[in-house]
Amino acid sequence: MKRVIVGLSGGVDSSVAAYLLQQQGYEVIGLFMKNWHDDSVTISNECPWLEDSNDAMLVAEKLGIPFQVVDLSEQYKDKIVDYMFREYELGRTPNPDVLCNREIKFDVFLKIALDLGADYVATGHYCRKGTLEKDGEEVYQLLSGVDGNKDQSYFLCQLSQEQLATSLFPIGELTKPEVRKIAAEQDLITADKKDSQGLCFIGKVRLPEFLQQKLQPKEGVIIQVPGDSEIYNRSIPRFADKEAELEYLSTKYQYTLDSGKVVGKHQGAHYFTKGQRKGLNVGGTKEALYVIETDVVENVIYTGEGKNHKGLYRNVLFVTNDELHWIRTDLALKNGESMEVKAQIRYRQKHENATIYKTKKGLYVDFENQQSAITEGQFVAWYLGDELVGSGVIS
C-alpha cells in the first residue's frame, strides 16, 4: 500500500484531496505546515494559523487519518521572508507563492514526508500531473487544472522533474464547485470555508506594514509622466540581428526627474510595484494614476494617467540564464533556437501568444500583443497547449 502525506492547510481543497486519496486506496497521513508566527505583524487578534491547523485536525479526525503539525517557520524565514525583503529592496516584486512551492512545500516538506516513509506528497492544487515515456525514461508533465477559473499550475512553475515524480494533485480533474460538493457530502468542516487570500504565509497581514519592519520609510516624490512624452516616440533603429532587436525591445523606458511633473510624495519607492494604483493618494486627474516605474536608488515613483498609458506596455521581456527553469528539461532550447508558446506573466492572466528565443545571455519572451506592467521579480511561465514546460524570473 502506497503512503501519501497530504499537506492539510485547513482549507477545502486539501481536505478533499486527502479524502480522494483515501478512496483510491492510499495510506494517507495529514501534515499541517506552520510557516509563520510573528504576532507583531498580524492585523487582527485572529490567529489564522491556529484556526487553520485546528480545521485541518478536525478533517483528519473525520477521515480517520493520522495528523501532525510540523513547524517550518525557521526554514520559512530563511527561504521566503528574507527573499521577499531582498527583492523589494532591489526594487523587484517577488512572488512568495511560487517560491513557497519550490522551496517549502515541495522541498523541505517533501523531505520530511520521504523521511516518514512516504511514497508521495499531495496538495490541494488545481493542476494535473501527466507522465510520458521518452527514450525509455519516464518524463513528468505539469498540466493545467480542468477548472479554468482556478488553474494553479502557474504557482508550481518552478518545480523540477524530481519534485513532480513524488507529487500527486488529486483535485486537478475537478472544478471548485465539485470539490465543495464532495466536502459537503463527507460532512467536512471546511466545506464552506472561504478561500484564503493574501500571501501564502503571512495570513492576515498587510504588505506595507510587513515591509516596514525591515525597509525603513523614506520620503520621495511621485512624478507624473505625460502619455505623449517624447520618451515613447523613440525611432526604432535597424538591427544587425534578431537578438539585437529583442534586446532593444526588452529594455525599459528610462525616466528622470525631468520626465514629468511632481504630483505628490510617497514613503518609499520599494513599497510600490509596477501597475499599482492604490496607495498613491494623488488626486486631481481624470483617470487614476498607475505606477509605470519605480527607482529605488533615487527613491522616485513614476506614474502615468489611465490604464492605457504607454509607459505600462511592452512586448518583450528577458530572463537571465541563472533564473531560467525548465520543467521539461528535454524540451529546453539551445542557443539560437526559438519556440512558439502561450505565456503568462501573472496568476489568473489568460495565456497569451508568444515566441521564446534562447540566446547566450538568456531567454527572451516576445509577446504577440503588448503586455501591461511587466514586473521584474515576477515569474513568466510558458505553456505548450495545457502543459507548463518552463518558467523564469522577469529581469
| Catalytic residue set | 100, 200
Confidence of residue 39 (pLDDT cuts 50, 70, 90): low
pLDDT greater than 80 at residue 210? no
The per-residue pLDDT for 201 is: 47
CATH topology of domain 3-212: Rossmann fold (3.40.50)
Q: Which has the minimum average pLDDT: 89-103, 151-165, 192-206, 330-344?
A: 192-206
Confidence of residue 208 (pLDDT cuts 50, 70, 90): low
At 243-280, the pLDDT tens digits run 999 999 999 999 999 999 999 999 999 989 999 998 89
Task: Report the distance separating Cα 322 and Cα 253, nearest Å.
Answer: 24
Average pLDDT over residues 189-209: 68
- From the DSSP assignment, how many helices (H) and strands (E) are in the chain? 10, 18
How is domain 220-238+254-308 classified at the architecture level of CATH? Roll (2.30)
pLDDT greater than 80 at residue 200? no
pLDDT greater than 80 at residue 378? yes
The per-residue pLDDT for 194 is: 86
pLDDT greater than 60 at residue 204? no
Cell of 383: 505553456
pLDDT greater than 80 at residue 42? no
4: which strand partners? 28, 120
Q: Where are the domains of the chain?
A: 3-212, 220-238+254-308, 313-393
- Among 79, 80, 95, smallest CA distance to 379 is for 95
| pTM of this structure | 0.93
At 291-349, the pLDDT tens digits run 999 999 999 999 999 999 999 999 999 999 999 999 999 999 999 999 999 999 999 99
Output phi, psi for 330, to 5 deg.
Answer: -70, -15
Percent of the chain past pLDDT 90, that is, above it, reads 83
- Among 97, 139, 109, 145, smallest CA distance to 125 is for 145
How is domain 313-393 classified at the architecture level of CATH? Beta Barrel (2.40)
Amino acid at 375: T
Confidence of residue 222 (pLDDT cuts 50, 70, 90): very high
The per-residue pLDDT for 35 is: 81
The per-residue pLDDT for 43 is: 47
